[in-house]
Amino acid sequence: MDDGVAASEQDAATPAPGVVTRVVRIVGWTAIVSGLLILGFVAQQLFVTTWFAEQHQDALSEEAEEHFATTEVSEVEYTPPVTQDTIEDGAAVVPPESDGPEDDGTPDRSGPRTLLVETAPALGDAFAVVRIPSIERLQDGWTVVEGVRVRDLKNGAGHMPTTPLPGLPGNSVISGHRTTYGAPFHEVDTLEVGDIIEVDTAIGTHIYEVRELQIVRPTDVWVTDPREGSWLTLTTCHPKFSSRRRLVVFAELVDGPNYEAIYA
Amino acid sequence: MKQWFIDLPGPMVVKVILAVVVALVALVALFFFYDWIGNTLLDTGGTVG
């Protein structure tokens, strides 16, 4: 008799089993679906996008080879800008009638030189290959396309069209993904000052040496500003798996078909 | 889910085809949504400006 009373009291205190089961089922399914959606997102971002980028890279690599073989390379006269540095070391005040270097041993840095230039590639076209021997992923090179639109960067690294092409005077800017779409610039944070970056173009191979790494805001457009000499600037997201900041690598030309013309 | 499949119009073959089409459309939509989220939050491609 006492047992019967206790059991009926317990039944009255606990909610109906149907409601509890329903709540547990809803919570359980919500957790499972959320987990699958998140897992799908991670798989899509890390593996699917990389698979697509690698397929594109195979095609772009052939396109770049064709570009190297068919692009017209011409010679243009180039006169380096006169800066305070060149005035201070006397190079810019060599009289026009002098014979230059033979006279006093000072190289003639004021006269026009011959610069090799290629015709500008169309947006989306593969036109260069960037290679970084100290980064395993980039030892064989990653094809660079013209443009930094979303669809350009899904295919390869992208060259900012408002900046000069690699190997020319100024500041050539190349952007690339850090964690998705093949993540060409995944390990650029491991670069050190003095490391070499090679860029193949229709003109030839341009060798750059890393001078500086900086972490900046995404709005810091000054990193694309023109620079004296010939520079290559690589930009990518920072930290990994976030687009909160940008990691920027500044590298200066140290060898290549146009080195003598720009720096002699 | 089972009820949703049963409620699809037509005979069994049509129900299966409709279910596959709806699943594919949902997957493609999900792919584009993932792509947009990834390009916005995870990795924009490193561009500045």
Q: Find the range with the poorest average confidence among A32-41, A93-102, A207-216, B32-41.
A: A93-102
Q: Which residues of A touch B (CB under 8 A)?
A: 37, 40-41, 44-45, 48-49, 148, 150, 153, 158, 160, 175-181, 183, 185, 216, 218-221, 223-224, 235-237, 241-243, 246-248
The alpha-helical segments, DSSP class H, found in A98-253 are 101-104, 150-155
Residue A223 binned pLDDT confidence (cut-offs 50, 70, 90): very high
CA quadruple A127, A132, A133, A137: dihedral sign: negative
Among partner residues A41, A178, A248, which is closest to B43 by beta-carbon distance?
A178
Distance CA A169, CA A150 (A): 27
Residue A68 has pLDDT above 70, yes or no: yes
| Candidate from B30, B35, B49 with C-beta closest to A221 | B49
Per residue in A114-144, pLDDT tens? Answer: 999 999 999 999 999 999 999 998 999 999 9
Residue A91: predicted pLDDT: 38
Distance CA A59, CA A94 (A): 51
Q: pLDDT for A159-209, tens place per residue? A: 999 999 999 999 999 999 999 999 999 999 999 999 999 999 999 999 999
Ramachandran bin of A73, using left for φ above 0, alpha for ψ from -120 to 50, beta for the remaining angles:
beta
The alpha-helical segments, DSSP class H, found in B1-49 are 2-7, 12-37
Residue from A37, A162, A177, A189 whose CB has the most chain B CBs within 10 Å, to mutate: A177
Q: Is A160 exposed, middle or buried (0-12, 13-18, 19+ CB in 10 A)?
A: buried
Measured distance CA(B31)–CA(A51) in Å, rounded: 14
| Pairing relationship of beta strands A170-175 and A157-159 according to DSSP bridges | antiparallel
The pTM score is 0.81
Collapsing DSSP states into helix, strand and coil, what is residue B42?
Answer: helix
Cβ neighbours of A48 (radius 10 Å): 16
Express each pLDDT in A248-259 by its tens digit: 999 999 999 999
- pLDDT tens digits for B27-46? 999 999 999 999 888 899 99
Tell me whether 0.90 is exceeded by the ipTM.
no
**pLDDT above 70 for A93:** no
Distance, in Å, from the CA atom of A146 to the CA atom of A155, rounded to the nearest integer, reads 11
Assign A9 a pLDDT band (cuts: 50, 70, 90).
Answer: low
Q: Look at residue A1 in the predicted model and tell me its pLDDT.
A: 44
Beta carbons of A175 and B35 less than 8 Å apart: no
Instruction: Please report where in the chains the tokens 């409620």 appear, as a residue.
Output: B7
Task: Please name the amino acid found at residue B16.
Answer: V
